[in-house]
């Protein structure tokens, strides 16, 4: 579908109504860019992708978004198979648009049903993946449009999206105080996900409306006149409770009739100041009869998402049926705006100037800090060092910044990492050392049989990934090292005219007075075979050779100081290998707080323990690096 000049002009006019000072040429450029990029690409709703983005923009505009958000909304489907990269997007529209689109790309692909992550964790990811509320806002508007045009999708796909909205996206909108979008999402998703229950609620409310008539209009006028007599200028809104909210309350309280719900009808009184809110509350309690235990003061004690209002339930209001209770909400104009738009309510206030997004981000972080899953500063700071990417089926995988597709594969499953062949990021093949970014959809192509390479050690950024690879490479070559070790030890034994190794490796049975099981004897062969220990260095420790002259001539084994022995026993090497250990003098891993460690096998057969981030580790031969950890 071609976007004509008339179409663009009409859209720009609508934007100008909410954002008069926007750069119309830049936004028009974004539309033209999108038209070329999307081409004839169809959205899953059946619309063209360009038409879909324009409809999402229509849902977004009442929130008075800034120019960057408008452009990001137009281009929020640009990172698709055959689309453009985030780098190209930044080159054309700047880093802010890139950041927002990247976040939207991730959040829009989260699938609750197929994800192995809990709902609470997914909600936290939605709130934590970006410190910019604009990302979440576009995502929520996108979900609204999906539901508006769900007829173009299969019933199964429509129900899946509606379920995700009710379980994940609408609650996130509520946590951010964006109740306008919360209600819109629930209104659209409820009849798709629960058609029979939606029909039941609809029929009951229709019967109740027929029985009592449309009394809210007359009640609102009676209250307006009464408050005017008392010198209060008030704006009045009224509504019936949202169908999905009715359904949830019926379920939670095991009720069958909507008549049993106290706040089925509500009237909102909007005044100029907080002082007038309390004045109106007193007048309302005189006009009608307040219901006991139904008063809540969210002005003095706001909700965690910043919501403020006075709530009271009143019976026998003028113009209302005598058996109907009405919830009365009293708030200022500012409170009412924030109740509808949440964090986004501040976008249109010019007095915040250039710092307005800093204010939004501060409020978003404040809300995040109130969520149960985010408790301390250490955890919050760790979120900043991580990215979230998706599997093709929608599972969210958390990785450290700088992680590669290889790291991703090993995190998903060790077998997938070992069988790694290549990777597609957002549909495009990328090199092995490509750094992943927030929102990337990562698809791993694999060999039928594992074909790992030692060179991968240089490309893996995660120690856990490197350990898995090193363990496999070690096990893969164990038989080779065993054979080589047997050959080298037999050569040394023959040199001294001693019996060669038998099938039980009997000569190695007693080592420094300790009886070794067969697997431990093989470990010594492996160490000799891989070059980490000299064959002759074994002989002084073998009790079976203690009577031989060459052993008596060997220098006595240097005994480690007690403190060093204690430290040696506190380290466990990968594969349980019994190798001598000492600590690096450069990074001193034994001092201070115990962190992640790795070992390097030196030429004398010792394992030198370094801190994982030590520069020596980065420059060492991967073949001589061995995994290590603190015991306990």
Give the model confidence (pLDDT) of 564-592 as tens digits.
Answer: 444 555 888 886 777 788 888 888 888 88
Q: Calculate mean pLDDT across residues 262-276.
A: 92
Torsion angles phi and psi, residue 236, rounded to 5: -120, 130
Q: With 60 as the cut, is the pLDDT of residue 211 above it?
A: yes
Higher pLDDT among residues 187 and 426, named by residue: 187
Q: Is residue 51 part of a domain?
A: yes
Encode pLDDT of 73-95 as tens digits.
Answer: 999 988 765 578 888 888 999 99
Q: Does one domain contain both 91 and 108?
A: yes
Task: Name the strands in the sheet holding 442-446, side by side, starting at the edge strand that comes first in the sequence.
Answer: 428-430, 420-425, 442-446
Q: For the whole prediction, is pTM greater than 0.85? A: no
Encode pLDDT of 454-507 as tens digits.
Answer: 778 778 888 888 888 888 877 777 778 888 889 999 998 888 888 888 888 888
Q: Does one domain contain both 22 and 100?
A: yes
**Angle (nearest 5°) at CA 148 between 143 and 154:** 85
pLDDT confidence of residue 350 = 37
292/289 Cα distance (integer angstroms):
9
In terms of Cα–Cα distance, which of 296, 311, 348, 343 is closest to 175? 343
Q: Does one domain contain both 303 and 414?
A: no
Encode pLDDT of 587-611 as tens digits.
Answer: 888 888 888 899 888 766 778 899 8
pLDDT confidence of residue 260 = 82
Mean pLDDT: which of 51-65, 247-261, 429-443 is highest? 51-65
pLDDT confidence of residue 369 = 42
Q: What is the CATH number of the domain that holds 263?
A: 3.30.460.10
Structure tokens at 459: 């490309």
E strand intervals along 49-107 = none
289/312 Cα distance (integer angstroms):
10
Q: Is residue 361 part of a domain?
A: no
Q: Is residue 108 part of a domain?
A: yes
Q: Does one domain contain both 276 and 139?
A: no
Q: Does one domain contain both 126 and 268?
A: no
180/196 Cα distance (integer angstroms):
25
Encode pLDDT of 228-246 as tens digits.
Answer: 999 999 999 988 888 999 9
**Helix-, strand-, coil-residue percentages of the chain, each rounded to 5:** 55, 15, 35
In terms of Cα–Cα distance, which of 487, 568, 580, 558 is closest to 526? 487
The CA-atom distances, in angstroms, between 424 and each of 51, 145, 427, 448, 599 are 28, 29, 5, 18, 34
Higher pLDDT among residues 45 and 130, named by residue: 45
Q: Residue 73's CB: how many other CB atoms inside 10 A?
A: 28
Residue position matching structure tokens 């033209």: 32
Q: Is residue 406 part of a domain?
A: yes
Q: Does one domain contain both 124 and 213?
A: no
Q: Is residue 374 part of a domain?
A: no
E strand intervals along 494-624 = 510-511, 514-515, 571-573, 581-583, 597-601, 607-611
Q: With 70 as the cut, is the pLDDT of residue 448 above it?
A: yes
List Cβ neighbours of 487 (8 Å cut-off, separation of 6 or more): none
Q: Calculate mean pLDDT across residues 414-438.
A: 86
Q: What is the CATH number of the domain that holds 134?
A: 1.10.3210.10
Q: Does one domain contain both 170 and 188?
A: yes
Higher pLDDT among residues 214 and 162, named by residue: 162
List Cβ neighbours of 247 (8 Å cut-off, separation of 6 or more): 190, 194, 197, 198, 201
Q: Calculate mean pLDDT across residues 153-165.
A: 90
Domain final position from 285, 319, 346? 346
Q: Does one domain contain both 394 and 508?
A: no
* pLDDT more than 90, % of the chain: 26
28/51 Cα distance (integer angstroms):
15
Element holding 626 (H helix, E strand):
strand 625-630
User: Confidence class of residue 552 from pLDDT cuts 50, 70 and 90?
Assistant: very low
Q: Is residue 365 part of a domain?
A: no
Q: Which long-range contacts (CB under 8 A, 24 or more apart) does 197-202 make?
A: 197/247, 198/243, 198/247, 201/243, 201/246, 201/247, 201/250, 201/258, 202/243
Q: With 60 as the cut, is the pLDDT of residue 378 above it?
A: no
316/285 Cα distance (integer angstroms):
11
Q: Is residue 17 part of a domain?
A: yes
569/632 Cα distance (integer angstroms):
11
Separate counts of helices (H) and strands (E) for the chain: 26, 18
Q: Is residue 551 part of a domain?
A: yes
Q: Does one domain contain both 220 and 334?
A: yes
Higher pLDDT among residues 449 and 125, named by residue: 449
Range of the domain at 514: 477-557
Q: Calculate mean pLDDT across residues 134-163.
A: 90
Q: What is the CATH number of the domain that holds 433?
A: 3.10.20.30
Q: Does one domain contain both 182 and 220?
A: no
pLDDT confidence of residue 162 = 93
Q: With 80 as the cut, is the pLDDT of residue 380 above it?
A: no
HEC secondary structure over 472-505: HHHHHCHHHHHHHHHHHHHHHHHHCCCCCCCCCC
Q: With 60 as the cut, is the pLDDT of residue 621 above it?
A: yes
* DSSP assignment string, 392-450: TT--EEEEETT--HHHHHHHH-HHHHHTEEEEEETTEEE-TTPPP-TT-BEEEEE-SS-
49/72 Cα distance (integer angstroms):
14
Higher pLDDT among residues 513 and 124, named by residue: 513
Encode pLDDT of 47-60 as tens digits.
Answer: 999 999 999 999 99
Q: Calculate mean pLDDT across residues 331-355.
A: 67
259/398 Cα distance (integer angstroms):
47
Q: With 70 as the cut, is the pLDDT of residue 383 above it?
A: no
Domain total of the chain: 5
Domain final position from 290, 325, 346? 346
Least confident of 28-32, 187-191, 365-369, 503-507: 365-369
Q: Does one domain contain both 130 and 252?
A: no
pLDDT confidence of residue 558 = 46
pLDDT confidence of residue 306 = 80
Domain final position from 557, 592, 621? 557
pLDDT confidence of residue 354 = 40
* DSSP assignment string, 332-371: EHHHHHHHHHGGGGGTT-GGGGGGHHHHHHHHHHHHHHTS
Q: Does one domain contain both 51 and 129?
A: yes
**571-573 and 296-297: which strand pairing?**
unpaired
379/372 Cα distance (integer angstroms):
12
pLDDT confidence of residue 368 = 44
């Amino acid at each position: 579908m071609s976007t004509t000049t008339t179409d663009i002009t009409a859209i720009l006019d609508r934007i100008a109504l909410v954002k008069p000072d926007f750069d119309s040429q830049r936004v028009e450029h974004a539309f033209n860019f999108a038209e070329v990029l999307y081409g004839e690409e169809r959205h899953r709703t059946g619309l063209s992708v360009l038409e879909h983005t324009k409809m999402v923009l229509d849902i977004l505009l009442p929130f008075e978004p800034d120019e960057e958000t408008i452009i990001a909304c137009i281009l929020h489907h640009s990172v698709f198979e055959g689309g453009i990269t985030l780098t190209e997007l930044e080159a054309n529209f700047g880093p802010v648009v890139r950041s927002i689109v990247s976040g939207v790309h991730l959040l829009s692909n989260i699938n609750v049903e197929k994800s192995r992550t809990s709902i609470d964790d997914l909600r936290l990811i939605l709130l934590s993946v970006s410190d910019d509320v604009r990302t979440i806002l576009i995502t929520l508007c996108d979900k609204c449009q999906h539901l508006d045009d769900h007829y173009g999708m299969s019933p199964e796909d429509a129900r899946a999206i509606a379920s995700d909205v009710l379980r994940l996206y609408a609650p996130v909108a509520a946590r951010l105080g964006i109740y306008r979008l919360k209600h819109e999402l629930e209104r659209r998703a409820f009849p798709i996900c629960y058609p029979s229950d939606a029909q039941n609620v609809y029929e009951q409310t229709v019967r109740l409306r027929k029985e009592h008539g449309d009394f809210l209009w007359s009640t609102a006028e009676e209250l307006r006149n009464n408050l005017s007599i008392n010198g209060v200028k008030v704006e009045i809104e009224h509504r019936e409770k949202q169908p999905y909210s009715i359904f949830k309350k019926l379920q939670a309280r095991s009720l069958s009739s909507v008549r049993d719900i106290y706040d089925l009808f509500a009237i909102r009184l909007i005044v100029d100041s907080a002082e007038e809110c309390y004045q109106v509350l007193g007048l309302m309690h005189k006009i009608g009869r307040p219901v006991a235990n139904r008063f809540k003061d969210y002005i003095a004690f706001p909700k965690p998402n910043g919501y403020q209002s006075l709530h009271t339930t009143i019976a026998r209001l003028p113009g209302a049926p005598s058996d109907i209770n009405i919830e009365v909400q009293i708030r200022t104009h500012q409170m009412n705006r924030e109740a509808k738009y949440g964090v986004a309510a501040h976008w249109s206030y010019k007095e915040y100037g250039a710092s307005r997004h800093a204010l939004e981000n501060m409020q978003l972080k404040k809300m995040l800090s109130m969520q149960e899953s985010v408790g301390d500063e250490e955890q919050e700071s760790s979120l900043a060092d991580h990215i979230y990417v998706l599997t093709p089926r929608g599972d969210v995988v958390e990785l450290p910044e700088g992680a590669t597709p290889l790291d991703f594969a090993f995190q998903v499953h060790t077998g997938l990492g070992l069988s790694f062949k290549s990777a597609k990021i957002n549909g495009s093949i990328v090199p092995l050392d490509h750094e992943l970014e927030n929102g990337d959809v990562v698809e791993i192509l694999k060999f039928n049989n594992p074909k790992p390479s030692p060179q991968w050690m240089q490309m893996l950024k995660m120690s856990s990934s490197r350990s898995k690879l090193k363990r496999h490479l070690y096990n893969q070559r164990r038989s080779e090292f065993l054979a080589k070790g047997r050959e080298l030890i037999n050569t040394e034994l023959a040199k001294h005219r001693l019996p060669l190794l038998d099938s039980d490796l009997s000569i190695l049975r007693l080592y420094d007075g300790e009886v070794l099981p067969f697997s431990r004897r093989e470990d010594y062969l492996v160490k000799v075979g891989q070059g980490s220990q000299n064959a002759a260095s074994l002989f002084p420790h073998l009790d079976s050779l203690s009577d031989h002259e060459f052993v008596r001539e060997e220098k006595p084994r240097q005994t480690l100081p007690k403190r060093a022995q204690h430290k040696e026993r506190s380290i466990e090497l990968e594969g349980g290998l019994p190798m001598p250990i000492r600590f690096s003098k450069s990074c001193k891993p034994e001092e201070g707080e115990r962190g992640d460690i790795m070992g390097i096998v030196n030429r004398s057969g010792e394992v030198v323990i370094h801190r994982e981030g030590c520069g020596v580790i980065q420059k060492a031969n991967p073949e001589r690096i061995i995994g290590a950890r603190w015991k306990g």
